[in-house]
A and B are shown apart, each in its own frame.
Chain A
Amino acid sequence: MMGSMLGDLPSFDPHNFSQLRPSDPSNPSKVVPTTYRPTHSRTSPPPDQVITTEAKNILIRNFYQRAEEKLRPKRAATEHPTPEHGCKQPRASTT
């Protein structure tokens, strides 16, 4: 338990705060903070990530987004005679 103002806040590196001297010299315990380490790297940014400002303003971006959504071809019954689901087949007329 760190007797300093830092309380028992964790750190990601156990070697941090090694220089810290406790305020009470009569209690010279070596303070090692509780260490938390991420268990995955899913949330770390890609190493080549570059953050820039989007040149298009938000209104134009919206227009383009909606246009893309609308123009993405949807399933049209007449356009795709073969069914999406393999299990269903159009009933062939008999004779």
Chain B
Amino acid sequence: MFKTNNVTSRIFERQIRTPAPGTSVHSARRFYENLVPSFTIYDVECPDHSFFKFTDDGQYFVCFSRNRQDLIVYRPTWLSFSCKGEDCDNNQELPPQAKRFESFFTQLYVKPLASCNELICKDFFLYMESNQFGIFATSTAQIQDARGTDGAILGVPSFEKITIHLFRLEDGFKLDEKVFHNDCVNLTHNMGAFLYDDLLAVVSLRYQTIHILQIRDSGNLVDVRAIGAYCREDDELFINSSSQLAGNRGDLVDNGTNHDQPNSNNSFLSGIKQRLLSFIFREIWSEETDQTQRVQCLKKKFYFHFQDYVDLVILKASRNTDQLPAFFAVYNMETTEIVAFYQNAADELYLLFERFCDHFHATSINSMYMNFISSHSNNIHALEQLKSMKNKATSISQFVKKMLSSLPLNCQSMSPSPYFDQSLFRFDEKLISATDRPRQSTDHPIRFNSRRQGDILKFKIKTGPEFGSADGRSKKYSHFLFHPVWPLALSFIQPSLFLPPSAVNIHFRR
């Protein structure tokens, strides 16, 4: 759309030229080529909090206290300062009063989140943009030697109390909570939960149940469904009311390994497993009738995908699935049918992943920016990178397995910042990317080159003055938080993954 690179003439062009149909957002995003966070304030004095995340609309900056008990929320602002003297505009240095954390962030409130014996799960946060609600989690410590209780499976750790909190971020008012007792929910990086519009799905690993909760506008968390033992809401009623089944119902109690025979003599398999088994059975039956016995030995954990609320729920199995075969299942919540079932190294599933990766993100219609996050399904450069990785892989099946192990994709795990848009910028994905994780940091600055303007350097993110002196050998980790809309980013340098950052830098457009 733009014929020049100069921001002023682009603004004039924008007045007279209409972008091609359906590309108005893409055209607007090209202004990010002109406004880049090229100025860095190094080693900013900031409060000793655990800085976590910007909300996806850029309104709030969520942090937790170092002791993981309190929630602290800031409002991102922009710095303003006054300068006295003759040559203010050309002054390279910012006045010292501007170079502070508080110039960019205004504290809104500090609220206690976890009670005395609980800790905040510092990798878990979901944001509901329409109401500006935030979802946090706290949990007590892991119970050693957890006993199997009614319905719980063994081999999964147990926590006495896991609480999901719903907060109104505007003022930090706690709206509601949902407690899971003696349970285990995988909360790292939002793995065990998924938010879609106003529905929140939480996987209870111990009880092998998916809890669907609705977040009402009033701020109430309402139980909608619990898929696991029973698939439909009235299943339990039906089973309970059948007198001959009264003594016999129960869930399958597995131990941690696959076994060849289910305990069918004294309990029913859980409703969802029945659906899965019957699906697999029908699939195998339609191929050949020989191996129906094989069906029985597959199940332990399975994946569900959360799409729209007439269709499935995808959640993750917990630990590493290197030894155990892992599977991916698609379940229709409304018809309570399993639609698809794949082993995690299935080529067919990989093909769908390659072509329709965006749909695995299950973005709701309300968050428009989610449609513009670069993935290998919507961006040719990302796809080329994926293909070159595939060509370089020594074993295709290992490559496929590695790619598919990221399914189902974690909710709200990618930054919507346009600086990660692969059609605008080229950057080294090993050093920085839209999924924010601490990575080994490099002494060299991270370059963001332009995709469209002949690969010229647009800006650099440097995490510190080039060290190479005293602690040149020691590895450091860096991680980055980009504001979703503004040319503003924070970088954190950690000497180790378990220690708080030793330096915080602010990168912004001066």
A62 touches B288 (CB 8 A): no
B289 touches A57 (CB 8 A): no
Cα(A73)–Cα(B286), bound, Å: 5
Cα(A78)–Cα(B291), bound, Å: 13
Residues facing B in A38-58 (CB within 8 A) are: 56-58
B339 touches A63 (CB 8 A): yes
Query: Does A59 have its Cβ within 8 Å of any Cβ on chain B?
Result: yes
Closest to B282 in A: A71
B359 touches A58 (CB 8 A): yes
Residues facing B in A66-95 (CB within 8 A) are: 66-67, 70-74, 76-79
B352 touches A62 (CB 8 A): yes
Cα(A62)–Cα(B312), bound, Å: 14
Q: B273-315, CB under 8 A of A: which get 1 and which 0? A: 0000000001101111100000000000000000110011000
A63 touches B360 (CB 8 A): no
Choose among A62, A66, A70, A76 the residue that contacts B289 (Cβ–Cβ < 8 A): A76
Q: B323-342, CB under 8 A of A: which get 1 and which 0? A: 00000001000000001100
Beyond A57-B359, A59-B352, A70-B287, list 11 extra A-B contacts (CB 8 Å): A57-B308, A58-B359, A59-B307, A60-B307, A63-B340, A63-B352, A66-B348, A71-B283, A71-B286, A76-B286, A77-B288
B359 touches A72 (CB 8 A): no
Question: Which chain A residues have a beta carbon within 8 Å of chain B's beta carbons?
Answer: 56-60, 62-64, 66-67, 70-74, 76-79
Cα(A60)–Cα(B93), bound, Å: 55
Query: Does B78 have its Cβ within 8 Å of any Cβ on chain A?
Result: no
Residues of A within 8 A of B288 (CB): 76-77
Cα(A62)–Cα(B307), bound, Å: 14
Residues of A within 8 A of B282 (CB): 71
Cα(A91)–Cα(B348), bound, Å: 40
Mind listing 14 A-B residue pairs with CB under 8 Å?
A57-B308, A59-B352, A59-B360, A60-B311, A62-B356, A63-B330, A63-B352, A67-B339, A70-B283, A72-B286, A74-B286, A76-B288, A76-B289, A78-B289
Question: Which chain B residues have a beta carbon within 8 Å of chain A's beta carbons?
Answer: 282-283, 285-289, 307-308, 311-312, 330, 339-340, 348, 352, 356, 359-360
Cα(A74)–Cα(B283), bound, Å: 10
Residues of B within 8 A of A71 (CB): 282-283, 286
- B383 to A: closest C-beta gap in Å: 17
Cα(A71)–Cα(B311), bound, Å: 19
Residues of A within 8 A of B356 (CB): 58-59, 62
Cα(A73)–Cα(B287), bound, Å: 7
Closest to B337 in A: A67
Cα(A62)–Cα(B282), bound, Å: 19
Cα(A60)–Cα(B339), bound, Å: 9
Given contacts A73-B286, A78-B289, contact A67 B360 (CB under 8 A): no
- B313 to A: closest C-beta gap in Å: 13
- B471 to A: closest C-beta gap in Å: 48
The 8 closest A-B CB pairs, nearest first, are A59-B359, A63-B340, A59-B356, A73-B286, A63-B339, A63-B330, A57-B359, A70-B283
A64 touches B360 (CB 8 A): no
Choose among A58, A67, A74 the residue that contacts B340 (Cβ–Cβ < 8 A): A67
- B139 to A: closest C-beta gap in Å: 33
Residues of B within 8 A of A67 (CB): 339-340
A70 touches B286 (CB 8 A): yes
Residues of B within 8 A of A77 (CB): 288
Choose among B283, B289, B308, B339 the residue that contacts A79 (Cβ–Cβ < 8 A): B289
Closest to B290 in A: A78
Closest to A62 in B: B352
- B279 to A: closest C-beta gap in Å: 8
A64 touches B286 (CB 8 A): no
Cα(A74)–Cα(B312), bound, Å: 27
Cα(A74)–Cα(B285), bound, Å: 9
Residues of B within 8 A of A63 (CB): 330, 339-340, 352
Of A60, A71, A79, chain B has the most CB atoms within 10 Å of the CB of A60
Residues of B within 8 A of A62 (CB): 352, 356
B289 touches A64 (CB 8 A): no
- B510 to A: closest C-beta gap in Å: 42
Residues of B within 8 A of A72 (CB): 286
- B287 to A: closest C-beta gap in Å: 6
Residues of A within 8 A of B283 (CB): 70-71
Residues of A within 8 A of B340 (CB): 63, 66-67
Cα(A58)–Cα(B358), bound, Å: 10
Residues of B within 8 A of A66 (CB): 340, 348
Residues of A within 8 A of B311 (CB): 56, 60
Of B286, B308, B339, chain A has the most CB atoms within 10 Å of the CB of B286
Cα(A78)–Cα(B288), bound, Å: 8
